[in-house]
Structure 1
Amino acid sequence: MSSAAFSTAAVDRTLPQLGRGFVWQDLTVGQRMRTFRRTITETDLVNFISVTGMLEAIFIEEGYEGGAMAGRPVPGALTYTLIEGFILQTMIQGTGLAMLELHQKILAPVVVGDTIEAVIEVTDIRPTSRSGRAVVTSRIDVFNQHDIPVMTYTATRLLAGRQAG
């Protein structure tokens, strides 16, 4: 291939960036979106409890006799972080500035082999006086593969705004 086939020009920073999340002006109260689905694996559970230190018997011992349920339960924190990963990668990548507040309720157990997804609803948008930012509140409802709600939480985040110019 000749050297003429390669560009030596600098990156054009005016081009749209792939994968960039929403600025707050792109959102409206009542707007709803859903995430992709993800099946939770034994490897997910082992990696999560290893990195967090959540070495509770119900998570590390298969068939733990003191458990309250059948199957391999996963910590609610794992369910939450997988959904937050989807939100980060798609909705707020590069535009989410801070998590300000979080209220969470576990509604049903999640076990290894369950497939989870979430519906996000924007419930409040309050522009700030600084740098065109806004405080955006969303309700996130998490469901398993049977459409049973397993978790609900409200997240209040600081989001970037569209750059003036």
Structure 2
Amino acid sequence: MTTEAKPRGKYFEDFEVGETMVSPARTITSTDIVNFACLSGDFNEVHTNFEYAKTTQFGEPIAHGPLVYAVMGGLQYASGVNDGTLLALLQINNWKMLLPVLHGDTIRLEQTVLDKKETSKPDKGVITLKRTCRNQRGEAVQEMEATLLYRRRPQ
């Protein structure tokens, strides 16, 4: 007999406006940057050419903005918030690149619940989060507002 595992993620009802959640941390490596360039096809020299990057204000290759965004999604998953309860990413607003992320930077995701709305469907609800990605010095490197669709707790 097989039993279905219960989700460990947060249901719509579990989120509280004003609540802040912090993810585990992850270090960005040169391998991450190169692999993302290969995956995306974005071989811009600011990401892949050490000699070129020396001539920029960064002094070395920087991580792609979308790479950091993707890692933020993985950090949210690693936190357990989405496990078995997230249904869809609906919208991203005000996505800002505030500081570069370099090889060796360790980032984490800080999320604050801005809003929660019931939908016309009794099994779904919408959560809006302010997402801030911070480096090992606590500096905000990216921020955005993410709107996501979550399962409601079964009756």
| Cα shift at 1:60 | 1.5
1:38 matched to 2:29? The reply is: no
1:119·1:142 contact (CA, 8 Å) conserved in 2? yes
After superposition, the C-alpha distances for 1:41-100 in whole angstroms (9 at most, x for unaligned) are 111111111001111111111131553321220111111110111113421122111111
Q: Does 1:140 align with 2:143?
A: no
The offset of 1:163, in angstroms, is 1.4
The normalised TM-score by structure 2 is: 0.91
Instruction: Report the Cα distance in structure 2 between the residues aligned to 1:77 and 1:21, rounded to whole angstroms.
Output: 25
Structure 2 counterpart SS, 1:81:
helix
2:142 aligns to what? 151
Q: Distance in 2 between matches of 1:63 and 1:138?
A: 39
Q: Is the 8 A contact 1:133 1:161 kept in 2?
A: yes
Map 1:31-70; keep pairs closer than 5 Å: 31-64=19-52, 66-70=55-59
Aligned length: 152
Q: d(CA) in 1 for partners of 2:151 and 2:115?
A: 15
Whether the aligned pair in 1 keeps the contact of 2:76 and 2:109 (CA below 8 Å) is no
For residue 108 of structure 1, give the secondary structure of its aligned residue in structure 2: coil
Deviates more, 1:108-117 or 1:62-71: 62-71
Q: What is the TM-score normalised by the length of structure 1?
A: 0.86
Is the counterpart of residue 101 in structure 1 residue 91 in structure 2? Answer: yes
Unpaired stretches in structure 1, ≥5 consecutive residues:
1-9
2:77 maps to 1:88: yes
Deviation at 1:25, TM superposition (A): 0.7
Give the structure 2 partner of residue 76 of structure 1.
65
3-state DSSP class of the match of 2:128? strand
Aligned to 1:126: 117
Give 4+ residue runs of structure 1 displaced > 6 Å after superposition.
Answer: none
| SS of alignment partner, residue 140 of structure 1 | strand
Task: Give ranges in structure 2 of 5+ residues lacking alignment.
Answer: none
Give, as a single letter, the amino acid of the residue that structure 1 aligns with 2:76.
I
2:107 equivalent among 87, 98, 116: 116
